Every structure is written in structure tokens, then in C-alpha cells.
Amino acid sequence: MNTLYPIFLKTENFNILIVGGGFVGTEKLSFILKNSPNANITVVAKLISDEIKSMVKGQSSIVLLEKSFEASDLENKQLVIAATADKTLNESIYHAAKVKSILINVADTPELCDFYLGSIVTKGDLKIAISTNGKSPTLSKRIREFFEEMLPENINDLILNLNEYRKTLKGNFEEKVSALNEITKSFNKKS
């Protein structure tokens, strides 16, 4: 049973640390920046890939530190992703983060994760997060691809129109929800 609680973070309000500058670190950084281009991220690694360096060129919210990880790198961080190829190092990052009550994701090690980076579908203001509870990222990816293909490109127009309608509604919260439910109930009817 998947007991995860999905949330959407305003990453520009957090300080994120990614430890690892190779393939996995590149993948995690790319994933975050695709969804949150203004995220505040520090990448720490002995070697940082050229791909990461070119990816963050000119982005003032990204800091690259080409050095070994030290526990002091966790200062003022709220989220950590351990993405090194060294399992022992990843475990020590995990333990150091837990001591400081910092949320951590250790790549490819679900038992050492406070959160997972699921697959995300984005169409304008619509964002759908998909999780398999860390068990099958490949299936999450395929479901993401399905939704990206199935959702109409103009879905954002619908969102904006509903937002404008919502602003015109009078009454208490319950009455507004009822009015919006009435206008949107046809969306899940099969034709």
C-alpha cells in the first residue's frame, strides 16, 4: 500500500543540497530544474560533470562546489539528495542529515528516503505527480508519457477560465466548491 502524502514544494523557498556530480546527480538536478527552474540548489562533488556545469551556466540560484562532501555542507539546507556512486558515503550523508532533521533522498535506496522524486506531468499550470512508492520508476515514467500524450495542449486555457469563474463566485467556501463541482462534473463522464 502506498502511504506517501504528495505535496508540491515551492523550491525557491528552500535550500537544496545535491551531493554527487556524475550521472545520477545530473539526473536529479535536471529533474528539479525542469519542474522548478528557480530552485536554490548547491551541488557538492569531487568532480562535477561538464553537463551539470553547462546546465547551470548563468543561473545565480545554483552553486557548484567541486570538493568532497563535509557535514558542514548541510548547514541551512532543508532538502538533501545523496546521489553519489559510493554507498558508504550516501549512508553517511543520510545519517548526517537525520541528525539535523533534514529531509533526505538517497538515490536508488528507498529505505533511506524521506521522499521520492516521482514522475511529473506538466501542462501549463496543471501538474500531476506519479509515484509507485519507489518500486518502479520505469512504470511511473510510462504513465507520465501516457498523460503527456492524452492531455490536450490547451488544458491551461481551461484552468485559466475556471480560475476567472472562481473569482466571480459569491458565498462561503462550501458554496464555491459546490458551484465548481457542478461545472466540472462532466469532465469525468465517458462519452
Q: Which residues are catalytic?
A: 108
- Residues in Cβ contact with 26 at an 8 Å cutoff, skipping those fewer than 6 apart: 49, 51, 52, 55
HEC-encoded secondary structure of the chain: CCCCCCCCCCHHHCEEEEECCCHHHHHHHHHHHHHCCCCEEEEEECCCCHHHHHHCCCCCCEEEEECCCCHHHHCCCCEEEECCCCHHHHHHHHHHHHHCCCEEEECCCHHHCCCCCCEEEEECCEEEEECCCCCCHHHHHHHHHHHHHHCCCCHHHHHHHHHHHHHHCCCCHHHHHHHHHHHHHHHHCCC
Q: Within 13 Å, how many C-alpha atoms sit on residue 149's CB side?
A: 6
Contact 52, 25 (CB under 8 A): yes
